[in-house]
Amino acid sequence: MNVVPEKTQLETATLVSFRICPFVARAQIVAFEKNVDLKTKFIDLNHKPDWYLKVSPTGTVPGLVLKDAFIFESTVIAEFIDELTQASLFPDDRVQKYLNKSWISFASTLIQHQYGQMIASDKAGFSESRSSLAGAMARIEETIKSKPFYNGDDFHIIDAVYAPVLYRLQLIKEKFGDTLIDDFPAIKNWATATIDRPSVKAVLNAEFDAALMVHLEEKHSWLLSNS
């Protein structure tokens, strides 16, 4: 079944966002892939507006505000956007589709450790998060059997979901000289193809890098003092 909401729903659809949020980026990349035009509203996560706290049970972004509904959780929003048009961004094979969903869920572990690594205020904190990130990367590395994307030639939701982690791994290498990504050849290949995807470039780019650097400064990141 293709769940297409009322046209009026989509005309007012607004993605509530925070510029450097890897969870928001997933939804934005999927929207770009599916040619779905979403309005974006940025909020300050340190001072969340009352209207958002009223509508969102978790207070996290992204949140998708429709005319008379609120959808939350990035992977759910990504699936909702995917279903708006034909040609699903999930593999056709049922087992592969649900394997993808399992590993999509696992992406949050990488995001969490990577963020810990980026905002660590000292070397010990950085190293601890880096080693947890490496452990999680080793688990997904073993599962990558295809190229250039996770499932092969076609770009799927799993690629959009991992894009922010892959992009940041590469960025951390370029800006701070941490070559962690080089220890994982399959992830490295996957990152190269994913970062080059137009939908990913539209979201993760120089403007994103600048916003991320400001955020790291605000967090007194050890990475910055060490670069």
Among 21, 107, 137, 180, binds ligand GSH (CB under 6 A): 21
Among 16, 23, 80, 190, binds ligand GSH (CB under 6 A): 23
Structure tokens at 207: 């403007």
Residue 61 vs 158, nearer CB to ligand GSH: 61
Minimum Å gap between C-beta 52 and ligand GSH is 10
Contacts of ligand GSH in 56-85 (CB under 6 A): 59-62, 73-75
Minimum Å gap between C-beta 74 and ligand GSH is 3
Residue 124 vs 214, nearer CB to ligand GSH: 214
Partnered with residue 39 across adjacent β-strands are: 14
β pairing state of 14-17 and 63-65: antiparallel
Contacts of ligand GSH in 38-57 (CB under 6 A): 45
Residue 118 vs 223, nearer CB to ligand GSH: 118
Residue 73 vs 209, nearer CB to ligand GSH: 73
Under rule CB under 6 A, residue 18 binds ligand GSH: yes
Residue carrying structure tokens 């046209």: 7
Minimum Å gap between C-beta 224 and ligand GSH is 19
Residue 60 vs 117, nearer CB to ligand GSH: 60
Q: How many angstroms separate the first and last alpha carbons of the chain?
A: 52
- Residues forming the site for ligand GSH (CB under 6 A): 18, 21, 23, 45, 59-62, 73-75
